Each structure stands twice: as C-alpha cells, then as structure tokens.
C-alpha cells in the first residue's frame, strides 16, 4: 500500500486508492454530496474559470510558501478542515492527520464528530496548531464544557460551524444504508467481508464511529447510537448571533465562523467580534445548488477584507486552486476530502503524502507565476474566464 501512496501524484490517485480499500458505503460517505450533487460539482467547475497571468522575467531561486495566520507563521497557505467519522475510515485517522499537519506547520481542525477526543489529539501531536470545531448545542453548559476542554488542551482557535442547522439529504448514504455506521444489509456485509484490510484495521480494533469527545457529556450508555441520538436531540437548530455572542465570551483565542456564504453575514461576523470566517458550502454536502466559496470571495473581501481573516474551503484539489484563492485575497485555503482519501488509503503515510502534493504544486506554481513569497500574489496574476462573481471581480480585471 505504501508503494501505491508514494506513487500517488494527485488527490484523484489517493481517491482511487481509498475507493479500493473501503467498503462502498464508507467511500460514498466521504465522496458524496447533497441531493443532485450540483454544489459538489460546481465547487470544482469554478476553479477552471480562473486562469493565471504569470510574470516570467523574475528571479525565483528562493521561494517560500509561508504565510502569517493569527499572528503566527504557517508553513503553507492551506489547512485541514474538520471531518467527523474519520476513524471509521482508518484507525486513529485524526492523529495521523494532526501529526502530518504538525510537521508541515499547518493547522489541523478537529471535528466535534471525531473518533479521537479533543485531549487525545492534543497529546499525540503536542506541537500541532489545533483548531477545535464546534457544533452548537441548545444548552450552553454543553457548549461551555467543550470550549473549556479545547482551551485546556491548548487549541489555538475555536471554529463554530454555522451551515449545518438541519441534517442534509445525502442520497448515496441513504441508498447505502449508511447513517453514522453501516446497516447490516446483505450488500454491506458482503462489502465488509471483501475489504479485509479495512475490516481488520477499523472494525476489529473496535472503532465503531463514536463521537468520542461527547462521551463525558452523556450519562448512561455510551454506545455509538445513544451518543448520536443525544447529539441530535441536543443540537441547536436555533443558532443565532445571540448564541454566538455567548460562545464568544467563553473563548479567549481566535474565533472563526465556518460556513458563512454572504458578505452580509461576513460583515455581521466582523461586527460581532469574530476573528475569522471560513467561506464554505460544506464541500457541497449540505445545501445543494449553493454558490461556490471562490465566487463570493471577492465580495466578502471588499466588504470585510482587513477586519477579518478570510479563509475558504470546498473543492480544493490542487496547489493551483490554493494559489487562485490567495491571489483573490484569502488568507488560507482548507480542504476536507483530499485528507480523508489520503488517510483512508495510507494512514499517516497518506496524510504526509497529501500535504506534500499540495506543497509541491504550490511551490512550482509560485515559480512559474514569478513570485517568491505569497504576499506578492494579487488579482493581477489572474484572468477571470467569464466567472459570474459580480462587480468586484469585474473591477479587478479592469
């Protein structure tokens, strides 16, 4: 397997390796999107409509892809976004990713739905820049308990996800009988039996996909389904600015809203004391037909640019994608699925490989663009190929 990983040149190569190792339902859980999957496809399509205008007579002997993020140096302009349930793809997947992120000096965002606890990841990757992702609960005592644990474990930033107030309709999961675990259908049983590598690593080592960080919050039985039922019952679909104000008071460090998709809400985030936003349509997993974060980046930069650290995810598969977003003003990009495929395919080796693929493509891209540092990059390095992004982009191309 590690030979396959070493030979993987792209996210797509790692995706194919993950497809081979995982039962279909597990693969589809990662790969799929909501409803028609239009938002999922669109996230990729927009990158094709942004092209580069390179400077060629430039000395690019020395290149650095370091950036400054929340007052600290980051090794590269990308980070790994939160994903729940990764332990059902690979035993202790979150730790593998946190270690790879740590060595690359990039942030790793731990999902509240992770199969490793907040504390366990911090202990296993003590040098890592860890961000804690929170889904908010009706009862502030739960929010406070989680926020305090993240602070005690040394997490750098708190990321509150704002785009998941209801549960999405993911049709692949429904067809596959997958809902935070596999239903025992004949096809799933067959699929598990015919993927022994995955079965030995995940099932026999006892990872049944519990949301481990939730365990101390629940009295009584702590099996996967009880925890999930508790999570669903206590989740707040009434996330509003008042709830965010209370959470803001609980957390001293950088607080980021993930899932903001309009300049209007970005302005509110800045007004209400947030430090950053991650523009995201959840990788096309929630609201189908959502616009892509890259499309709204210009209007958000115009509205809040200097006041907020503006980041984005959804659809990043190439170093060139990251360079486009940085040129349009984003501080950093994040990705989810590339890391999930990588860790599913090859554990820690896979995690390191995905980081190195992005690093290499960014480095070569910088060389060809004629830049030595990322702060040299701006919209004048881009050509917008009929991208309907509204007035800001048109102005930028003038």
Ligand X SMILES: Cc1cc2nc3c(=O)[nH]c(=O)nc-3n(C[C@H](O)[C@H](O)[C@H](O)COP(=O)(O)O)c2cc1C
Annotated catalytic sites, by residue? 282
Q: 295 vs 371, which CB is nearer to ligand X?
A: 295
182-209 per-residue burial string, b: 16 or more CB within 10 A, e: under 16: beeeeebeebbeebeebeebbbeeebeb
- Tell me which of 316, 341, 358, 381 binds ligand X, using CB under 6 A: 316
As measured in angstroms, the least distance from the Cβ of 391 to ligand X is 27
3 state DSSP class of 372: coil
335 binds ligand X (CB under 6 A): yes
- Tell me which of 77, 209, 276, 283 binds ligand X, using CB under 6 A: 283
- Tell me which of 340, 344, 371, 377 binds ligand X, using CB under 6 A: 340
251 binds ligand X (CB under 6 A): no
Q: 164 vs 392, which CB is nearer to ligand X?
A: 164
Angle formed by the axes of helices 319-327 and 293-304, nearest 10°: 30
Q: Which of 131, 74, 110 is nearest to 330 (CA)?
A: 74
23 binds ligand X (CB under 6 A): no
Q: How far apart (Å, rounded) are the C-alpha atoms in residues 365 and 361?
A: 6
Q: CA-CA-CA-CA torsion for 381, 284, 102, 278, nearest 10 degrees?
A: 60
Token digits of residue 58: 């430039």
Q: 60 vs 218, which CB is nearer to ligand X?
A: 218
- Cα distances from 69 to residues 65, 76, 214, 299, 332, in angstroms, run 12, 10, 29, 21, 8
Q: 236 vs 376, which CB is nearer to ligand X?
A: 236
84 binds ligand X (CB under 6 A): yes
Write each residue from 91 to 120 as x if it is in contact with ligand X (CB under 6 A), else as -, in one continuous string. --------------------x-x-------
Q: How far apart (Å, rounded) are the C-alpha atoms in residues 384 and 395?
A: 11
180 binds ligand X (CB under 6 A): no
Residues that bind ligand X (CB under 6 A): 29-30, 43, 81-85, 111, 113, 133, 161, 258, 280, 282-283, 285, 313-316, 335-337, 340
């Amino acid at each position: 397997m590690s030979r396959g990983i070493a030979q993987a040149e792209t996210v797509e190569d790692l995706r194919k390796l993950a497809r081979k190792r995982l039962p279909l339902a597990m693969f589809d859980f990662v790969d799929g999107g909501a409803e028609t999957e239009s938002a999922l496809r669109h996230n990729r399509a927009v990158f094709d409509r942004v092209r580069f205008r390179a400077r060629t007579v430039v000395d690019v002997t020395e290149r650095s892809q370091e950036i400054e993020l929340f007052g600290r140096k980051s090794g590269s302009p990308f980070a790994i976004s939160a994903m729940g349930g990764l332990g059902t793809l690979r035993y202790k997947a979150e730790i593998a990713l946190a270690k790879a992120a740590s060595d690359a000096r990039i942030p790793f965002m731990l999902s509240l739905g992770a199969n490793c606890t907040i504390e366990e990841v911090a202990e296993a990757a003590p040098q890592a820049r860890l961000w804690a992702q929170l889904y908010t609960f009706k009862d502030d005592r739960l929010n406070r308990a989680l926020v305090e644990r993240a602070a005690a474990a040394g997490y750098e930033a708190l990321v509150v996800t704002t785009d998941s107030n209801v549960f999405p309709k993911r049709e692949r999961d429904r067809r596959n009988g997958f809902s935070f675990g596999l239903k025992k259908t004949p096809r799933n049983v067959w699929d598990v039996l015919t993927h022994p590598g995955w079965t030995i690593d995940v099932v026999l080592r006892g990872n049944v996909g519990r949301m481990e960080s939730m365990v101390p919050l629940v009295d009584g039985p702590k099996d996967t389904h009880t925890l999930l039922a508790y999570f669903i019952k206590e989740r707040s679909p009434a996330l509003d600015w008042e709830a965010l104000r209370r959470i803001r008071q609980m957390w001293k460090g950088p607080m980021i809203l993930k899932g903001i998709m309009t300049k209007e809400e970005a302005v509110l985030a800045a007004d209400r004391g947030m430090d950053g936003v991650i523009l995201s349509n959840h990788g096309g997993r929630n609201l189908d037909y959502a616009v892509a974060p890259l499309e709204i980046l210009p209007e958000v930069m115009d509205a809040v640019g200097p006041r907020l650290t503006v980041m984005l995810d959804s659809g990043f598969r190439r170093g060139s994608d990251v360079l486009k977003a940085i040129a349009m003003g984003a501080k950093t990009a994040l990705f989810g699925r590339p890391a999930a495929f990588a860790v599913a395919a090859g554990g820690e080796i896979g995690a390191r490989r995905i980081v190195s693929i992005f690093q290499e493509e960014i480095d070569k891209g910088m060389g060809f663009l004629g830049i030595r540092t990322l702060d040299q990059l701006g919209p004048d390095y881009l050509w917008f190929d009929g991208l309907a992004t509204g007035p800001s982009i048109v102005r930028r191309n003038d």
